[in-house]
Structure 1
Amino acid sequence: MSPRLKTAGQLAGVAVVMASLSFAAVPFYDWFCRVTGFGGTTAEATQAPEKILERTMHIRFDASLEAGMPWHFKPAQRSMTVRIGEVGLAFYEAYNPTDRVIAGTASYNVTPDQAGGYFTKIDCFCFTQQVLQPGERVMMPVTFFVDPEIVNDREAKYLREITLSYTFHTTDLPEEHAATEPQTPAPVAN
Protein backbone atom coordinates (compact mmCIF):
# COMPACT_ATOMS: atom_id res chain seq x y z
CA MET A 1 0.00 0.00 0.00
CA SER A 2 1.35 3.42 -0.90
CA PRO A 3 2.15 5.90 1.89
CA ARG A 4 -0.52 8.29 0.55
CA LEU A 5 -3.24 5.63 0.71
CA LYS A 6 -2.11 4.58 4.18
CA THR A 7 -2.22 8.20 5.41
CA ALA A 8 -5.63 8.76 3.80
CA GLY A 9 -6.96 5.60 5.46
CA GLN A 10 -5.64 6.72 8.86
CA LEU A 11 -7.20 10.18 8.44
CA ALA A 12 -10.53 8.61 7.47
CA GLY A 13 -10.32 6.41 10.60
CA VAL A 14 -9.63 9.46 12.76
CA ALA A 15 -12.64 11.26 11.20
CA VAL A 16 -14.92 8.26 11.93
CA VAL A 17 -13.71 8.07 15.55
CA MET A 18 -14.18 11.85 16.04
CA ALA A 19 -17.70 11.74 14.57
CA SER A 20 -18.60 8.80 16.83
CA LEU A 21 -17.28 10.63 19.90
CA SER A 22 -19.26 13.76 19.02
CA PHE A 23 -22.51 11.76 19.01
CA ALA A 24 -21.62 10.16 22.35
CA ALA A 25 -20.66 13.49 23.95
CA VAL A 26 -24.19 14.80 24.59
CA PRO A 27 -25.54 11.75 26.46
CA PHE A 28 -22.25 11.37 28.33
CA TYR A 29 -22.25 15.05 29.38
CA ASP A 30 -25.90 14.79 30.50
CA TRP A 31 -25.08 11.70 32.58
CA PHE A 32 -21.97 13.35 34.04
CA CYS A 33 -23.92 16.49 35.06
CA ARG A 34 -26.69 14.47 36.70
CA VAL A 35 -24.24 12.33 38.68
CA THR A 36 -21.92 15.13 39.80
CA GLY A 37 -24.24 18.16 39.86
CA PHE A 38 -21.83 19.87 37.47
CA GLY A 39 -23.21 23.03 35.88
CA GLY A 40 -25.96 23.31 38.49
CA THR A 41 -27.74 20.14 37.42
CA THR A 42 -29.98 18.97 40.25
CA ALA A 43 -30.31 15.44 41.59
CA GLU A 44 -33.55 13.43 41.78
CA ALA A 45 -34.81 11.16 44.57
CA THR A 46 -37.93 9.18 45.41
CA GLN A 47 -37.91 10.04 49.11
CA ALA A 48 -36.43 12.47 51.62
CA PRO A 49 -33.31 11.69 53.62
CA GLU A 50 -33.72 10.31 57.12
CA LYS A 51 -31.43 12.92 58.65
CA ILE A 52 -32.52 16.57 59.05
CA LEU A 53 -29.88 19.01 60.29
CA GLU A 54 -30.39 22.10 62.41
CA ARG A 55 -28.52 24.22 59.87
CA THR A 56 -30.73 26.06 57.39
CA MET A 57 -30.40 27.00 53.74
CA HIS A 58 -32.07 29.99 52.11
CA ILE A 59 -33.65 28.95 48.78
CA ARG A 60 -34.43 31.58 46.13
CA PHE A 61 -36.77 30.90 43.20
CA ASP A 62 -36.35 32.37 39.73
CA ALA A 63 -38.43 32.06 36.54
CA SER A 64 -37.96 33.08 32.92
CA LEU A 65 -39.32 32.30 29.46
CA GLU A 66 -37.51 31.54 26.23
CA ALA A 67 -37.94 34.19 23.53
CA GLY A 68 -41.33 33.78 21.89
CA MET A 69 -42.94 31.75 24.70
CA PRO A 70 -46.22 33.63 25.29
CA TRP A 71 -46.99 32.36 28.79
CA HIS A 72 -46.64 34.37 31.98
CA PHE A 73 -44.49 32.43 34.44
CA LYS A 74 -43.32 33.30 37.96
CA PRO A 75 -42.58 31.77 41.36
CA ALA A 76 -45.49 31.95 43.81
CA GLN A 77 -42.98 33.03 46.46
CA ARG A 78 -39.52 34.46 45.91
CA SER A 79 -37.73 32.53 48.66
CA MET A 80 -37.96 30.25 51.67
CA THR A 81 -35.66 28.93 54.33
CA VAL A 82 -35.49 25.17 54.98
CA ARG A 83 -33.44 23.02 57.28
CA ILE A 84 -30.89 20.91 55.43
CA GLY A 85 -32.51 17.51 54.81
CA GLU A 86 -36.04 18.88 55.33
CA VAL A 87 -38.52 18.56 52.46
CA GLY A 88 -39.57 21.88 50.97
CA LEU A 89 -42.59 22.55 48.77
CA ALA A 90 -42.64 25.53 46.43
CA PHE A 91 -45.04 26.55 43.67
CA TYR A 92 -44.63 28.28 40.34
CA GLU A 93 -47.52 29.92 38.54
CA ALA A 94 -48.03 29.68 34.78
CA TYR A 95 -50.69 31.47 32.77
CA ASN A 96 -51.57 31.12 29.08
CA PRO A 97 -52.99 34.51 28.00
CA THR A 98 -53.48 33.42 24.38
CA ASP A 99 -56.52 32.01 22.58
CA ARG A 100 -54.74 28.75 21.71
CA VAL A 101 -53.48 25.64 23.49
CA ILE A 102 -49.73 25.86 24.19
CA ALA A 103 -47.36 23.16 25.44
CA GLY A 104 -44.17 23.90 27.32
CA THR A 105 -41.28 22.17 28.99
CA ALA A 106 -39.17 23.68 31.76
CA SER A 107 -35.41 23.46 31.88
CA TYR A 108 -33.77 24.15 35.21
CA ASN A 109 -30.53 24.74 37.01
CA VAL A 110 -29.21 25.61 40.43
CA THR A 111 -26.67 28.24 41.38
CA PRO A 112 -24.05 28.27 42.65
CA ASP A 113 -22.87 25.28 40.67
CA GLN A 114 -21.43 23.54 43.76
CA ALA A 115 -24.99 23.14 45.09
CA GLY A 116 -26.31 21.27 42.05
CA GLY A 117 -25.44 17.79 43.27
CA TYR A 118 -27.00 18.47 46.68
CA PHE A 119 -30.24 20.15 45.62
CA THR A 120 -32.51 17.15 45.16
CA LYS A 121 -36.00 17.06 43.66
CA ILE A 122 -38.54 14.47 44.70
CA ASP A 123 -41.27 15.70 42.36
CA CYS A 124 -41.38 18.57 39.88
CA PHE A 125 -43.51 20.02 37.13
CA CYS A 126 -40.28 20.11 35.12
CA PHE A 127 -40.26 16.30 34.85
CA THR A 128 -43.13 16.37 32.33
CA GLN A 129 -44.50 18.53 29.55
CA GLN A 130 -47.13 21.05 30.62
CA VAL A 131 -50.13 21.89 28.40
CA LEU A 132 -52.19 25.00 29.13
CA GLN A 133 -55.55 25.73 27.57
CA PRO A 134 -56.41 29.28 26.42
CA GLY A 135 -56.71 31.52 29.48
CA GLU A 136 -55.70 28.70 31.85
CA ARG A 137 -53.72 29.51 35.02
CA VAL A 138 -52.03 26.73 37.01
CA MET A 139 -49.98 26.37 40.16
CA MET A 140 -47.17 23.87 39.62
CA PRO A 141 -45.37 22.28 42.58
CA VAL A 142 -41.76 21.33 43.11
CA THR A 143 -40.87 19.14 46.10
CA PHE A 144 -37.19 19.22 47.07
CA PHE A 145 -34.58 18.97 49.81
CA VAL A 146 -30.96 19.92 50.28
CA ASP A 147 -28.95 16.74 50.83
CA PRO A 148 -27.26 16.71 54.28
CA GLU A 149 -24.05 15.56 52.58
CA ILE A 150 -23.56 19.20 51.50
CA VAL A 151 -21.97 19.91 54.90
CA ASN A 152 -19.18 17.42 54.09
CA ASP A 153 -18.31 18.95 50.70
CA ARG A 154 -15.06 20.93 50.74
CA GLU A 155 -16.56 23.87 48.81
CA ALA A 156 -20.33 23.55 49.16
CA LYS A 157 -20.34 23.37 52.97
CA TYR A 158 -19.96 27.16 53.13
CA LEU A 159 -23.05 27.88 51.07
CA ARG A 160 -25.94 29.63 52.79
CA GLU A 161 -28.13 30.35 49.75
CA ILE A 162 -29.18 28.38 46.66
CA THR A 163 -31.13 29.72 43.68
CA LEU A 164 -33.42 27.37 41.73
CA SER A 165 -34.10 28.73 38.23
CA TYR A 166 -36.56 27.54 35.59
CA THR A 167 -36.97 28.58 31.97
CA PHE A 168 -40.08 27.49 30.07
CA HIS A 169 -39.68 26.59 26.40
CA THR A 170 -42.45 26.14 23.84
CA THR A 171 -42.78 22.53 22.68
CA ASP A 172 -44.94 20.70 20.16
CA LEU A 173 -48.41 19.78 21.34
CA PRO A 174 -49.00 16.12 22.20
CA GLU A 175 -51.07 14.28 19.59
CA GLU A 176 -54.27 14.28 21.67
CA HIS A 177 -54.15 18.10 21.92
CA ALA A 178 -52.86 18.79 18.42
CA ALA A 179 -55.83 16.95 16.91
CA THR A 180 -58.29 19.31 18.66
CA GLU A 181 -56.45 22.53 17.75
CA PRO A 182 -58.13 24.50 14.97
CA GLN A 183 -56.12 24.26 11.79
CA THR A 184 -55.19 27.42 9.95
CA PRO A 185 -56.55 27.17 6.41
CA ALA A 186 -54.01 27.13 3.62
CA PRO A 187 -53.85 30.38 1.61
CA VAL A 188 -55.90 30.31 -1.56
CA ALA A 189 -53.92 30.94 -4.74
CA ASN A 190 -55.32 33.57 -7.09
Structure 2
Amino acid sequence: MDSARQRVYNERSKKSRSLLMYSIGTILLSVGVTYAAVPLYRAFCSATGFSGVPVTDPTRFTPDRLYVTPETAGRKRITVHFNAQAADSLPWKFEAQQRNVKVLPGETALAFYTATNMGEEDLIGIATYNMTPDKIAPYFAKVECFCFEEQRIRAGEQVDLPVFFFIDRDIVDDPALDGLDDVVLNYTFFKARRNQKGHLVPDASEEAVLQSQGFDKYEHAPPVASSSS
Protein backbone atom coordinates (compact mmCIF):
# COMPACT_ATOMS: atom_id res chain seq x y z
CA MET A 1 0.00 0.00 0.00
CA ASP A 2 2.82 2.39 0.89
CA SER A 3 4.48 1.85 -2.50
CA ALA A 4 1.15 2.38 -4.28
CA ARG A 5 0.52 5.59 -2.38
CA GLN A 6 4.06 6.74 -3.18
CA ARG A 7 3.47 6.14 -6.91
CA VAL A 8 0.23 8.14 -6.82
CA TYR A 9 1.95 10.94 -4.94
CA ASN A 10 4.84 11.00 -7.43
CA GLU A 11 2.46 11.10 -10.40
CA ARG A 12 0.45 13.95 -8.87
CA SER A 13 3.65 15.87 -8.09
CA LYS A 14 4.84 15.39 -11.68
CA LYS A 15 1.50 16.63 -13.06
CA SER A 16 1.58 19.63 -10.70
CA ARG A 17 5.09 20.55 -11.83
CA SER A 18 4.06 20.18 -15.48
CA LEU A 19 1.00 22.37 -14.94
CA LEU A 20 3.13 24.98 -13.18
CA MET A 21 5.70 25.03 -15.99
CA TYR A 22 2.93 25.26 -18.59
CA SER A 23 1.36 28.19 -16.74
CA ILE A 24 4.68 30.01 -16.46
CA GLY A 25 5.39 29.38 -20.14
CA THR A 26 1.98 30.73 -21.14
CA ILE A 27 2.53 33.88 -19.07
CA LEU A 28 5.98 34.46 -20.57
CA LEU A 29 4.64 33.88 -24.09
CA SER A 30 1.80 36.33 -23.49
CA VAL A 31 4.22 38.97 -22.23
CA GLY A 32 6.50 38.39 -25.22
CA VAL A 33 3.65 38.68 -27.71
CA THR A 34 2.42 41.88 -26.07
CA TYR A 35 5.94 43.33 -26.09
CA ALA A 36 6.34 42.53 -29.80
CA ALA A 37 2.79 43.48 -30.80
CA VAL A 38 3.49 47.00 -32.05
CA PRO A 39 6.52 46.23 -34.29
CA LEU A 40 4.83 43.08 -35.62
CA TYR A 41 1.68 45.05 -36.31
CA ARG A 42 3.67 47.69 -38.19
CA ALA A 43 5.46 45.03 -40.26
CA PHE A 44 2.12 43.40 -41.10
CA CYS A 45 0.69 46.75 -42.18
CA SER A 46 3.70 47.55 -44.38
CA ALA A 47 3.37 44.19 -46.11
CA THR A 48 -0.40 44.29 -46.62
CA GLY A 49 -1.38 47.96 -46.66
CA PHE A 50 -3.60 47.56 -43.60
CA SER A 51 -4.29 50.64 -41.45
CA GLY A 52 -3.43 53.09 -44.21
CA VAL A 53 0.25 52.11 -44.41
CA PRO A 54 1.53 52.04 -48.03
CA VAL A 55 2.86 48.68 -49.18
CA THR A 56 6.67 48.26 -49.12
CA ASP A 57 6.77 44.56 -50.06
CA PRO A 58 9.46 44.27 -52.82
CA THR A 59 7.67 41.31 -54.44
CA ARG A 60 5.07 43.81 -55.67
CA PHE A 61 7.66 45.56 -57.85
CA THR A 62 7.98 42.98 -60.63
CA PRO A 63 8.18 44.36 -64.21
CA ASP A 64 4.77 42.95 -65.13
CA ARG A 65 3.17 45.25 -62.54
CA LEU A 66 4.87 48.45 -63.65
CA TYR A 67 3.14 49.41 -66.86
CA VAL A 68 -0.22 50.78 -67.95
CA THR A 69 -2.62 48.35 -69.64
CA PRO A 70 -5.36 49.33 -72.08
CA GLU A 71 -7.86 48.75 -69.28
CA THR A 72 -6.15 51.12 -66.86
CA ALA A 73 -5.30 53.63 -69.59
CA GLY A 74 -8.99 54.39 -69.96
CA ARG A 75 -9.42 55.10 -66.27
CA LYS A 76 -9.46 58.60 -64.87
CA ARG A 77 -6.13 59.53 -63.34
CA ILE A 78 -5.82 59.43 -59.55
CA THR A 79 -4.56 62.61 -57.91
CA VAL A 80 -2.01 61.94 -55.18
CA HIS A 81 -1.68 64.84 -52.73
CA PHE A 82 1.38 65.22 -50.50
CA ASN A 83 1.38 66.33 -46.86
CA ALA A 84 4.43 66.96 -44.71
CA GLN A 85 4.96 67.87 -41.08
CA ALA A 86 7.78 67.75 -38.54
CA ALA A 87 7.32 67.00 -34.84
CA ASP A 88 7.73 69.95 -32.47
CA SER A 89 10.91 68.40 -31.03
CA LEU A 90 12.60 68.43 -34.45
CA PRO A 91 13.70 71.89 -35.68
CA TRP A 92 13.32 71.01 -39.34
CA LYS A 93 11.37 72.69 -42.09
CA PHE A 94 9.77 69.81 -43.98
CA GLU A 95 7.57 70.29 -47.04
CA ALA A 96 6.53 68.71 -50.34
CA GLN A 97 8.00 70.23 -53.50
CA GLN A 98 4.77 69.58 -55.40
CA ARG A 99 1.21 69.80 -54.17
CA ASN A 100 0.09 66.73 -56.12
CA VAL A 101 0.70 64.46 -59.11
CA LYS A 102 -1.81 62.63 -61.29
CA VAL A 103 -1.11 58.98 -62.10
CA LEU A 104 -2.75 56.01 -63.80
CA PRO A 105 -2.80 52.59 -62.12
CA GLY A 106 0.40 50.77 -63.10
CA GLU A 107 2.21 54.01 -63.89
CA THR A 108 5.28 54.91 -61.82
CA ALA A 109 5.75 58.42 -60.48
CA LEU A 110 8.49 60.36 -58.72
CA ALA A 111 7.84 63.04 -56.12
CA PHE A 112 10.17 65.07 -53.91
CA TYR A 113 10.10 66.50 -50.42
CA THR A 114 12.53 69.03 -48.97
CA ALA A 115 13.90 69.00 -45.44
CA THR A 116 15.94 71.85 -43.94
CA ASN A 117 17.66 71.62 -40.58
CA MET A 118 16.90 74.97 -38.94
CA GLY A 119 18.73 74.00 -35.74
CA GLU A 120 22.30 74.67 -34.61
CA GLU A 121 23.43 71.04 -34.55
CA ASP A 122 23.40 68.04 -36.84
CA LEU A 123 20.31 65.93 -36.28
CA ILE A 124 18.93 62.55 -37.34
CA GLY A 125 15.27 62.27 -38.26
CA ILE A 126 12.96 59.32 -38.86
CA ALA A 127 9.87 59.61 -41.04
CA THR A 128 6.57 57.79 -40.57
CA TYR A 129 3.79 57.68 -43.15
CA ASN A 130 0.22 56.68 -43.93
CA MET A 131 -2.42 57.04 -46.64
CA THR A 132 -5.82 58.72 -46.67
CA PRO A 133 -8.27 57.15 -47.29
CA ASP A 134 -6.73 54.03 -45.77
CA LYS A 135 -8.45 51.71 -48.25
CA ILE A 136 -6.02 52.84 -50.98
CA ALA A 137 -2.99 51.59 -49.02
CA PRO A 138 -3.00 47.95 -50.30
CA TYR A 139 -2.62 49.32 -53.83
CA PHE A 140 -0.14 52.12 -53.12
CA ALA A 141 3.37 50.69 -53.37
CA LYS A 142 6.60 52.56 -52.72
CA VAL A 143 9.62 51.39 -54.71
CA GLU A 144 12.11 53.83 -53.16
CA CYS A 145 11.54 56.25 -50.31
CA PHE A 146 13.52 58.40 -47.90
CA CYS A 147 11.34 56.90 -45.17
CA PHE A 148 13.04 53.50 -45.52
CA GLU A 149 15.96 54.71 -43.41
CA GLU A 150 16.89 57.50 -41.02
CA GLN A 151 18.06 60.85 -42.42
CA ARG A 152 21.00 62.81 -41.01
CA ILE A 153 20.99 66.50 -41.91
CA ARG A 154 23.72 68.92 -40.88
CA ALA A 155 22.89 72.21 -39.19
CA GLY A 156 21.62 74.65 -41.79
CA GLU A 157 21.62 72.03 -44.55
CA GLN A 158 18.76 71.51 -47.01
CA VAL A 159 18.23 68.17 -48.75
CA ASP A 160 15.85 66.80 -51.37
CA LEU A 161 14.06 63.59 -50.40
CA PRO A 162 12.57 61.45 -53.20
CA VAL A 163 9.71 58.96 -53.13
CA PHE A 164 9.23 56.68 -56.15
CA PHE A 165 5.85 54.94 -56.19
CA PHE A 166 3.05 53.42 -58.23
CA ILE A 167 -0.58 52.45 -57.75
CA ASP A 168 -1.21 48.77 -58.42
CA ARG A 169 -3.33 47.98 -61.46
CA ASP A 170 -5.50 45.66 -59.36
CA ILE A 171 -7.23 48.72 -57.98
CA VAL A 172 -9.46 48.81 -61.06
CA ASP A 173 -10.97 45.45 -60.02
CA ASP A 174 -11.89 46.61 -56.51
CA PRO A 175 -15.51 47.84 -56.47
CA ALA A 176 -14.91 49.54 -53.12
CA LEU A 177 -12.52 51.95 -54.84
CA ASP A 178 -14.59 52.63 -57.92
CA GLY A 179 -14.71 56.38 -58.41
CA LEU A 180 -11.82 57.12 -56.06
CA ASP A 181 -10.06 60.15 -57.55
CA ASP A 182 -8.02 61.69 -54.71
CA VAL A 183 -5.66 60.22 -52.11
CA VAL A 184 -3.23 61.80 -49.65
CA LEU A 185 0.25 60.58 -48.74
CA ASN A 186 1.11 61.85 -45.24
CA TYR A 187 4.64 62.04 -43.82
CA THR A 188 5.74 63.04 -40.33
CA PHE A 189 9.40 63.49 -39.35
CA PHE A 190 10.47 62.79 -35.77
CA LYS A 191 13.77 63.46 -34.05
CA ALA A 192 15.61 60.14 -33.64
CA ARG A 193 16.98 58.64 -30.45
CA ARG A 194 18.53 55.30 -29.56
CA ASN A 195 16.48 52.89 -27.48
CA GLN A 196 17.84 50.43 -24.92
CA LYS A 197 18.84 48.04 -27.73
CA GLY A 198 20.77 50.75 -29.54
CA HIS A 199 18.27 51.06 -32.39
CA LEU A 200 17.22 54.44 -33.75
CA VAL A 201 13.55 55.14 -33.02
CA PRO A 202 11.34 58.25 -33.06
CA ASP A 203 11.95 60.41 -30.01
CA ALA A 204 8.25 60.68 -29.23
CA SER A 205 5.58 58.89 -27.30
CA GLU A 206 4.33 55.64 -28.77
CA GLU A 207 0.90 57.23 -29.00
CA ALA A 208 2.23 60.08 -31.18
CA VAL A 209 4.03 57.63 -33.47
CA LEU A 210 0.95 55.42 -33.81
CA GLN A 211 -1.20 58.44 -34.61
CA SER A 212 1.24 59.55 -37.34
CA GLN A 213 0.91 56.11 -38.92
CA GLY A 214 -2.86 56.00 -38.63
CA PHE A 215 -2.86 53.06 -36.21
CA ASP A 216 -4.87 54.90 -33.57
CA LYS A 217 -8.01 54.68 -35.73
CA TYR A 218 -8.43 50.92 -35.31
CA GLU A 219 -9.97 49.19 -32.33
CA HIS A 220 -7.79 46.12 -32.88
CA ALA A 221 -4.53 48.08 -32.96
CA PRO A 222 -1.97 46.80 -30.40
CA PRO A 223 -1.71 48.50 -27.02
CA VAL A 224 0.78 51.32 -26.61
CA ALA A 225 4.16 49.93 -25.63
CA SER A 226 6.69 51.41 -23.26
CA SER A 227 8.75 54.18 -24.83
CA SER A 228 11.93 52.38 -23.75
CA SER A 229 11.17 49.29 -25.81
| TM-score, normalisation: structure 2 | 0.67
More helix per residue: 2
Q: Is 2:172 the partner of 1:139?
A: no
Cα contact 2:131–2:184 (8 A) shared by 1: yes
Figure out how many residues of one structure are paired with residues of the other and give that number.
173
Q: How far apart, CA to CA, are the structure 1 residues paired with 2:131 and 2:179?
A: 16
Distance 2:29 2:117 in 1: 46
String of CA shifts for 1:153-184, please: whole Å, max 9, x gaps: 232333211100100011149xxxxxxxxxxx
Could you say which residue in structure 2 is the equivalent of 1:167? Answer: 188
Unaligned runs of 5+ in 2: 1-11, 195-229
Deviations 1:57-90 (Å, cap 9, x if unpaired)?
A: 0100000112211000011111121112111111
- The equivalent of 2:123 in structure 1 is 102
Tell me if structure 1 keeps the 8 A contact 2:142–2:166: yes
TM-score (norm 1): 0.79
Bigger Cα displacement from structure 2, 122-131 vs 14-23: 14-23
Partner residue, 2:67: 50
What code does the residue aligned with 2:32 have?
S
| Structure 1 residue 30, shift from structure 2 partner | 2.5
Shift of 1:101: 0.7
- Secondary structure, aligned partner of 1:158: coil
> 2-side partners of 1:59 and 1:116: how far apart?
12
- For 1:150, the equivalent position in structure 2 comes to 171
- Distance in 2 between residues matched to 1:135 and 1:13, nearest whole Å: 53
Are positions 1:17 and 2:25 aligned together?
A: no
Cα distance, 1:6 vs structure 2: 8.8
Moved more, 159-168 or 29-38: 29-38
**Cα deviation per residue 1:24-77 (whole Å; 9 max; x = unaligned)?**
423432332123211111113446623342221010000011221100001111
For the aligned residue pairs, the C-alpha RMSD in angstroms reads 2.5
2:5 maps to: none
Structure 1 consecutive aligned stretches of length 4 or more whose deviation exceeds 3 Å: 4-14, 45-48
Q: Percentage identity across aligned positions?
A: 35
| Structure 1 residues 104 and 29: alpha-carbon distance in aligned structure 2, compared to 1, 3 A threshold | same
Q: Rg bigger for which structure?
A: 2
Distance 1:128 1:10, change over 3 A: closer
- Cα offset, 1:137, TM superposition: 1.0
More strand by share: 1
Deviation at 1:8, TM superposition (A): 6.5
CA distance in 2, matches of 1:160, 1:19: 44
Larger RCO, structures 1/2 (Cα 8 Å, 6+ apart): 1
2:98 alignment counterpart: 77
